[in-house]
């Protein structure tokens, strides 16, 4: 899932054809909605808006099974161009996985905006010296509260289902604008910025893979295993995954998520990593997307694509079509969200 915003009036290299990427979610056993949208698990959902500070466009589209039927879209997104007041915007992407992944991502999509403190964000946005530590701590608590509430909600089976969660709060007055990002999982936020007459990519989140040393050590200390799936010939397939000590479960390809109760017993958690970026005139746009995009397009690729949109937010479809061309020889199309 994904999308892009640009400032008002502003204009990891990966091989996309490797078997590793095609097998990425092999053993892990969406819905996409705008801020006021109805659930749509097999179709396309879009949203767009603008105010005096920025404009945005969002797209989530379900892929196809080999027989031509639409897959369930387990992605969801939030897009609030004005969250309580014009200078505060909130965006996010949630990439569900597992049998109930679409229910989990929909739950998170609903609960994060409900719990976020509009008055806190409004006050800090208006301040000449905003207390970013306060916003960051609140952002962390929101993710953790949503995760705890989901675990207690017996209407959704999150034992082997969960979602990534990456979100960005944009706040502050002109000349003092900031982006605070919170990330749990392997969805990603990037900024396209200008340097030396060229547009470059800066990642505002880190993909939290199980084989990252800090993530791996935590999982091992909690009794889990971090290793790829092994085929019948003893060869590794795809990325490193999280496993219980003596069972081939859950096979999660990320080290943090919301939900995934079984994985949580061996160190997977919902506490997000926080990053803060001071916006300047060099920053031209932000892209938030699920790994369905990042598996096949590098951050630099996406910046090049968005650059070609010439500030037209409606052309977020360009990322979708560029992404899709890499699947012409794949068995089936996945689902993906662009914001």
Question: Could you tell me the pLDDT band of residue 80, with boundaries at 50, 70 and 90?
Answer: very high
Distance CA 85, CA 234 (A): 57
Mean of pLDDT values over 254-274:
99
pLDDT tens for residues 81-92?
999 999 999 999
78 forms bridges with which residues in the sheet? 92
Distance CA 72, CA 65 (A): 9
Q: With a cut of 70, say whether residue 9 has pLDDT above it.
A: no
State pTM to two decimals: 0.84
Q: With a cut of 90, say whether residue 209 has pLDDT above it.
A: yes
Q: With a cut of 60, say whether residue 24 has pLDDT above it.
A: no
Mean pLDDT is lowest, of 50-64, 218-232, 239-253, 291-305, for 50-64
Q: With a cut of 80, say whether residue 101 has pLDDT above it.
A: yes
The confidence score (pLDDT) of residue 58 equals 87
The confidence score (pLDDT) of residue 57 equals 87
C-beta of residue 326 within 8 angstroms of C-beta of residue 17 = yes
Distance CA 275, CA 264 (A): 23
pLDDT tens for residues 112-157?
999 999 999 999 999 999 999 999 999 999 999 999 999 999 999 9
Mean of pLDDT values over 223-244:
96
Question: Could you tell me the pLDDT band of residue 46, with boundaries at 50, 70 and 90?
Answer: confident
53 versus 335: which is more confidently predicted?
Answer: 53
Sign of CA dihedral 263, 181, 312, 84: positive
Q: What's the mean pLDDT when you consider all of the chain?
A: 84
317 versus 110: which is more confidently predicted?
Answer: 110
Distance CA 76, CA 103 (A): 10
The confidence score (pLDDT) of residue 312 equals 65
Structural domains in the chain, CATH included, are 2-208+270-338 (3.60.40.10)
Sign of CA dihedral 86, 143, 4, 161: negative
DSSP type of residue 186: S
Q: What's the Cα-to-Cα distance from 186 to each of 141, 183, 257, 258, 335, rounded to whole Å?
A: 20, 8, 9, 12, 15
The confidence score (pLDDT) of residue 236 equals 94
Rg of the chain taking only CA atoms, in angstroms: 19
Q: With a cut of 80, say whether residue 245 has pLDDT above it.
A: yes
Nearest to 143 by CA among 35, 287, 256: 256
Distance CA 170, CA 205 (A): 15
Mean pLDDT is lowest, of 12-26, 38-52, 264-278, for 12-26
C-beta of residue 255 within 8 angstroms of C-beta of residue 219 = yes
pLDDT tens for residues 265-323?
999 999 999 999 999 999 999 999 998 889 888 999 999 888 877 656 556 665 655 55
């Amino acid at each position: 899932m994904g999308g892009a915003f640009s400032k008002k009036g502003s204009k990891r290299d990966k091989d996309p054809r490797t078997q590793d990427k095609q097998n990425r979610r092999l053993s892990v056993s969406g819905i996409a909605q705008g801020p006021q949208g109805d659930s749509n698990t097999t179709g396309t959902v879009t949203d767009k808006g603008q105010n005096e500070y920025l404009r945005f466009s969002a797209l989530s589209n379900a892929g196809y099974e080999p027989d031509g039927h639409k897959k369930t879209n387990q992605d969801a997104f939030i897009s609030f161009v004005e969250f309580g007041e014009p200078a505060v915007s909130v965006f996010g992407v949630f990439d569900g996985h597992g049998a109930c992944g679409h229910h989990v991502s929909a739950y998170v999509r609903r609960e994060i905006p409900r719990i976020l403190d509009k008055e806190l964000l409004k006050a800090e946005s208006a301040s000449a010296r905003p207390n970013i530590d306060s916003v960051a701590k609140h952002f962390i608590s929101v993710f953790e509260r949503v995760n705890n509430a989901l675990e207690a909600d017996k209407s959704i089976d999150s034992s082997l289902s969960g979602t990534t969660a990456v979100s960005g709060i944009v706040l502050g007055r002109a000349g003092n604008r900031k982006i605070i990002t919170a990330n749990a999982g392997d969805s990603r936020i990037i900024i396209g910025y200008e340097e030396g007459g060229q547009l470059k990519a800066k990642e505002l989140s880190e993909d939290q893979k199980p084989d990252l040393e800090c993530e791996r050590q935590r999982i091992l200390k909690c009794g889990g295993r971090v290793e790829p799936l092994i085929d019948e010939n003893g060869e590794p397939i795809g990325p490193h995954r999280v496993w219980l000590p003596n069972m081939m479960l859950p096979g999660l390809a990320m080290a943090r998520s919301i939900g995934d109760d079984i994985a949580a017993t061996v160190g997977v958690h919902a506490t997000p990593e926080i990053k803060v970026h001071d916006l300047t005139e060099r920053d031209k746009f932000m892209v938030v997307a699920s790994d369905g995009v990042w598996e096949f397009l590098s951050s630099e690729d996406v910046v090049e694509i968005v650059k070609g949109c010439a500030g037209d937010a409606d052309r977020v479809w360009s990322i979708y079509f560029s992404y899709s061309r890499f699947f012409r020889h794949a068995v089936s199309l996945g689902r993906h969200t662009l914001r």
